[in-house]
Amino acid sequence: EGARRETRRRKCSWWTQFKLLYFRSFRQVIRDRATNLIRITTNVNSALVFGSIYWRLKRTQSTIQDRFGLLQVSAINTAMASVTKTLTAFSREKIVVDRERTKGDYSVGPYLLAKLAAELPISAVFPLLFGAVEYPMCGLNKSLPKFGKFLGLVTVESFTSSAIGLSVGSLVSSPEAANALGPAVMVIFIVFGGYYCNPENVPLAFRWIPRVSLIKHGFEGLAANEFRGLSFETKLPTDVATGEQALQRIGFGESTVPKSLAGLGRIMLFNWMLTFHILKSKKPSFQFCEDGDFN
């Protein structure tokens, strides 16, 4: 019995576990060229489609709605692309991880940290490509700092969506269940994403949802980044003359990029912590039998 229990103990220190798991995760991401190519192609194609639809937006009144629409679909596209990939990959990987943890090969902490450290830098490439293609094609705010903030927002939103994918994937028991639950959660976040439903008009029972919607925080940050300091052509006294007025009309009058990044950061950290606790609580365990139990 002592020998059997010994096999369940961790075989090396926390730091050694982290290093080994980091290099394994990094190799897995680098070697998965087919998936990486598909993600690059998908993000670039989405940017080209959006850029073609919203080509070189002018400063007329009609383009105010176009800008909001573009920023909303950009937030949705970024989130859906990231969560779909995470749900598909992690729900399958978890089966192997559960088996290895049952043998006591490593613990949850070094595994999750190593996975994030290995995958996040590479995962940043895809939203950065999306933003780098879309932004100039659509003629968004021609300011280098604004462009940098746009890229930062879509990247952080992508990380946040991936964190949600991890928590959903760790909660369910099969890839099929993960792929069914994940999109359902994202649809709720899209509905309360700040464009289809004004935050001021949300029923009291649902007002907590916009606060945890990564779509809302992402869209809000992109809108604040784009519209603040922008001016529009006017013909009538009732026309919207400034970007601040446009933001006020959809309930984003007090919105800023730092506030949105902070909101995304809170959601991301919460889902990482949730993933950790779910994995730790759901560790498979078995009862060892004495030799005479079957006699």
In angstroms, the CA 98 to CA 95 distance is 5
- AA identity, residue 56: R
Per-residue confidence (pLDDT) for residue 137, from 0 to 100 = 97
CB atoms within 10 A of CB 238: 7
Q: Which of 188, 176, 250 is nearest to 220 (CA)?
A: 250
170 Cβ neighbours under 8 A, 6+ residues apart: 90, 94, 274, 275, 278, 279, 282
211 is written with which tokens?
Answer: 């606060």
Helix axes 108-123, 257-281, angle to 10 degrees: 140
Per-residue confidence (pLDDT) for residue 2, from 0 to 100 = 46
Q: Which helix (H) or strand (E) holds 121?
A: helix 108-123
In angstroms, the CA 106 to CA 123 distance is 25
Mean pLDDT for the stretch of residues 45-72: 97
Taking 60 as the threshold, does the pLDDT of residue 292 lie above it? no
Mean pLDDT for the stretch of residues 247-260: 94
pTM summary value = 0.90
| C-alpha gyration radius of the chain | 23
1 falls in which pLDDT band (50, 70, 90)? very low
Per-residue confidence (pLDDT) for residue 91, from 0 to 100 = 84
Share of the chain above pLDDT 70, in %: 92
Taking 70 as the threshold, does the pLDDT of residue 238 lie above it? yes
Taking 70 as the threshold, does the pLDDT of residue 290 lie above it? no
Strands (E), 103-246: none
In order, the DSSP letters of 163-176 are: HHHHHHHHHSSSHH
Taking 90 as the threshold, does the pLDDT of residue 289 lie above it? no
Taking 60 as the threshold, does the pLDDT of residue 257 lie above it? yes
Chain segment 177-230, per-residue pLDDT in tens: 998 999 999 999 999 998 888 777 888 899 999 999 999 999 999 999 999 999
In angstroms, the CA 71 to CA 243 distance is 14
Q: Which helix (H) or strand (E) holds 56?
A: none
The number of C-alpha atoms within 13 Å of 272 and in the hemisphere containing its C-beta is: 17
Per-residue confidence (pLDDT) for residue 198, from 0 to 100 = 79
57 Cβ neighbours under 8 A, 6+ residues apart: 63, 66, 67, 70, 138, 139, 140
In order, the DSSP letters of 232-295 are: ---SSTTS--BHHHHHHHTT-TT--HHHHHHHHHHHHHHHHHHHHHHHHHT----PPPPGGGG-
12 is written with which tokens?
Answer: 């090396």
Strands (E), the chain: none
Under 8 Å between Cβ of 74 and 193:
no
DSSP state of 201: G
Taking 80 as the threshold, does the pLDDT of residue 291 lie above it? no
